[in-house]
Structure 1
Amino acid sequence: MQTVLGANGQIAEELTRYLHDNVTHDIRLVSRNPSKVHDTDQLVKADLTDAGATAAAVAGSDIAYLTVGLPLDSALWERQFPVMMANTIAACQEHGTKLVFFDNTYMYPRTAAPQVEDTPFEPVGRKAAVRARIANMLLAEMDAGTIEAVIGRAPEFYGPGKTKSLTNSAVFDRIKQGKRPVVPISAHTTRTLIWTPDASRGLGLLGNTPDAYGQTWHLPVDPERLTYEDMIGVAAQVTGRRIRHTTVPAAVFKLGGLFDQGVKEAAELLPRYHSDNIFDSTKFTTRFPDFKTTTYRQGITEILGG
């Protein structure tokens, strides 16, 4: 039995497809309101902030994947993410279940230095502090040998379906709708984006590779480095039309944050767009040389239906 905790988002759905097609049909999907991806999926309604419900949801699982996402709300993150992580760790320890944690990069330094698996955490802002806290909670248990776990870390998403990211909503979704894309802060800094199906396939592969455990892995990304201007250029080639973009400076986001809580919450993440973002997944691609990573051109073509 392999169990996906937080089974509503794009990452969880793609992970479920990978597990079903490559590993097992014995899959349990857990969330407040789970829905089947395949007829054989088992559904369990559970609130992961409830320790008993989490333990019951994990019971009988060989591997549990923690893929929970929450809206960009700092107070909500502070209340729920540490509790969910503590409950999941305790449940896996109780039942002898391996844990695979889907992590992000919010706690990394906001610099142009390449990000690797042992890059020290330097969280700035409430959401970054929460992400550092929950990663460190699991790392401490891994170091102590009290749990068999692996961390798969991903940079910002882009992708098909219901993928949620600033890049999807501000750039590719707007292009698809025939609107002018909006670029945060700078169109000329290098970005690293991960194609959501690649992130999910990579996570499932790590979870089913015994020697991957006890480590942190950067999930696989296209090694080509593009700016937003480059990506919009690819989109223009795919769609066969000229695409102009608008760059939105930080001051506009700051002003918008006075009137819109969502803009205010997103503003914490904006400093990372001032400098290049170089997320290095060499460790993963070296260990798994046959893994086929989606190129930006392939991904953008799929999103835009080219």
Structure 2
Amino acid sequence: MQTILGAGGIIGIELAKALTQYTTDIRIVARNPQKVNETDQVFKADLLNPGETFRAIEGSEVVYLTVGLKYQAKVWQEQWPILMQNVINACIRTGAKLVFFDNVYMYGKVDGWMTEESIMRPNSKKGKVRTRLISMLQDEMHKNTFPILIARSVDFYGPGTKNSVTNLIFDNIRDGKKPQWLVDINVPHSLTYTPDAGKATALLGNTPDAYNQIWHLPTDPEKITMKSFIHQALEAAGLPQKIGIFPPWLLTIAGLFNTNIREIKEMLYQYDSPYLFDSSKFEKRFGKMYTPYSEGIQYMIQYNRQKR
């Protein structure tokens, strides 16, 4: 049995699709779980409840934690440590392996490329929460209590994505609106393609010697600026080359009325300077698995045309 905790988001969905290459015994766990594959088992659970978490994990060989909590620092501070401890305790009791789908908030602002060896220097409330979670997992790694793997992605884009900053680009283009970006379109910004993230996470979870390590998921190494990325999307859609930019002062004003915008303000350091993600460790071990930006952009435009 391979179990996905928090399978309702796009990463959980892509992961469930990819896992069919390794097993047909997949359990989907969420507050309101829905099948991704016909043979999936669904299990309703609140992962803030230790008993429900244990029952969700019981009988699993591999557990994938892909939960996405409400994007508010206070919620993260209150709920993430409880949820993670519940999952750790359940894995210890059952002997299940754990794959944690992570982001890069714990690195803070990095000068140069982010690698698996980058020091954790969070400069945001959410980054400090992620640092605490990684510390919890690394403590268990050092004690060798059960196998743990951390798989990291940067901002992502891909079909069906709902809660990514890249929706400002592709949803707007789909709806005939001007695509938008945050702060500065002239700096390079790495983006992970969600189908690649799902396939790579499934591969890692089914590779015994990949455990007790951190892995950056396959991402195109091109130092693409968001200006180039958006221009390619507009060209593929046959639309004029017009881009909207949210400057910091406008986000400050908008944040007075919109909680989500207010929450993203502390993360603006990711958008005003180079944001570069190195996944060469993965490529050296498993080969090239990333989708080039040019291909991913073309597919997204075609996908959205079909979804109109």
Q: TM-score when scaled to structure 2?
A: 0.96
What residue identity is the alignment partner of 1:141?
E
Q: What pairs with 1:18-37 in structure 2 (closer than 5 Å)?
A: 18-20=18-20, 22-37=21-36
Is residue 157–residue 163 contact of structure 1 (8 Å, CA) maintained in 2? no
Structure 2 partner of 1:251: 249
Aligned-pair CA distance for 1:218: 0.3
- Aligned to 1:111, the other structure's residue is in SS state coil
Give 5+ residue unaligned stretches, structure 1. Answer: none
**Distance of 2:69 and 2:87 partners within structure 1:** 16
Q: Report which stretch shifted further, 175-184 or 4-13.
A: 175-184
In the alignment, the residues of structure 1 paired with residue 70 and residue 158 of structure 2 have an alpha-carbon distance, to the nearest angstrom, of 18
Residues 108 and 127 of structure 2 are in contact (CA less than 8 Å); yes or no, is this contact kept in structure 1? no
| Separation in structure 2 between the aligned mates of residue 179 and residue 163 of structure 1, nearest angstrom | 17
For structure 2, the residue ranges without an aligned partner over 5 or more in a row are none
1:1-306 correspondence runs (5 A): 1-20=1-20, 22-167=21-166, 169-289=167-287, 291-305=288-302
The C-alpha deviation readout for 1:189-243, integer Å capped at 9, x for no partner, is 1000000111111111000001100100000001112111101121133123322
Cα contact 1:109–1:122 (8 A) shared by 2: yes
CA contact (8 A) 1:74 1:127 kept: yes
Q: Tell me how far apart the structure 1 counterparts of residues 52 and 236 of structure 2 sit (CA, whole Å).
A: 47
Secondary structure of the structure 1 residue equivalent to 2:84: helix
Deviation at residue 86 of structure 1 after TM alignment: 0.5
Tell me, in whole angstroms, the C-alpha distance in 1 between the residues paired with 2:41 and 2:174. 35
Contact 2:188 2:223 in 1 (8 A): yes
User: Which string of whole-angstrom CA distances, capped at 9 and with x for unpartnered residues, describes residues 52-98 of structure 1?
Assistant: 11111111100000000012111111111111110101101100100
Of all paired residues, the percent bearing the same amino acid is 43
User: Matched residues in 2 for 1:112 and 1:300: separation?
Assistant: 27
8 Å contact kept, 1:3–1:61: yes
Aligned to 1:226, the other structure's residue is in SS state coil
CA contact (8 A) 1:163 1:196 kept: no
- Structure 1 CA distance for aligned equivalents of residues 217 and 89 of structure 2: 25
Greater CA deviation, 280-289 or 123-132? 123-132
How many residue pairs are counted as aligned between the two chains? Answer: 303
CA distance in structure 2 between the partners assigned to 1:157 and 1:98 by the alignment: 25
Q: Deviation digits for residues 244-268 of structure 1, max 9, x if unmatched?
A: 0022211111121122222111111
- Determine the C-alpha separation between the residues in 1 that align with 2:161 and 2:30: 17
Q: Could you tell me which amino acid in structure 2 is paired with residue 145 of structure 1?
A: N
Cα displacement string for residues 258-298 of structure 1 (whole angstroms, at most 9, x for unaligned residues): 22222111111112111101110000011001x43111111
Partner Cα separation in structure 1 for residue 11 and residue 275 of structure 2: 22
Aligned-partner Cα distance in 2 for 1:295–1:113? 21
- Alpha-carbon RMSD: 1.2
